[in-house]
Amino acid sequence: MRQVILDTETTGLSWEKGNRIVEIGCVELLERRPTRRHFQRYLNPEREMEPGAAEVTGLTWDFLRDKPLFHEVAQEFLDFIRGSELVIHNAAFDVGFLNAELARLGPEYGRIDDHVSGVLDTLALSKQRFPGQRHSLDALCKRLGVDNGHRTLHGALLDAELLADVYLTMTSGQGEFSLGAEAGENGTSRAAETALRPLAAVVRRGILPEEAEAHAARMAGIAKKAGGTVLWGSEA
């Protein structure tokens, strides 16, 4: 089975209010093993970031203004995810934004469900596995022993990598597992059936050089705006 762990960052919380995607991050799993293949793009959203989104991502219009538009990377993105099962935390959010972006390009691009075999929502999985507890990515990392110490800001590729570890840890050692698949109004298959095989080994990789460079640039920009005094300034 080929799965793609996917995350997006956006200018705000609602695509219905005109917010746009500013980053897409994907990592590939084959038979539950990371392949080191990934897809990551920053995007020009053609609008300013909302304050809350800028705060959690560290992204600014100055950083994004020279990045490609969604239509320039859409085909490459769709080629990467084609035929896979998407694994997303709070899938309705990301799929809603992606469908809105595809709709801007025209009906020939269809919807996300037209390009993949299904969508598994790890938020729904977490709620079933850990009822009554917190289900954020950070909470799951802490609960499952996944190291997220390097996550000072939200980033689509970094979060997709963390989610891959969370998903593999949360589902390792189980047999066939199925969540009731129910299409939402955004066309999301809330939780597609997936065969969860025992995990022989989770291959963890370090942050890629280009990821570290982009992250450092974002952190430097925040530090500059803060006058050079930031909480992480003393960290190695």
Positions marked catalytic: 154
Q: Give the bridge partners for 88, in sequence order.
A: 121
Specify the amino acid at residue 35: T
For residue 43, what are its two tokens?
Answer: 């995007």
Residues 20/45, Cβ–Cβ less than 8 Å: yes
d(CA 145, CA 140): 8
Q: Which of 192, 159, 196, 176 is nearest to 8 (CA)?
A: 159
Contact 151, 138 (CB under 8 A): yes
| Residue 17 phi, psi (nearest 5) | -100, 15
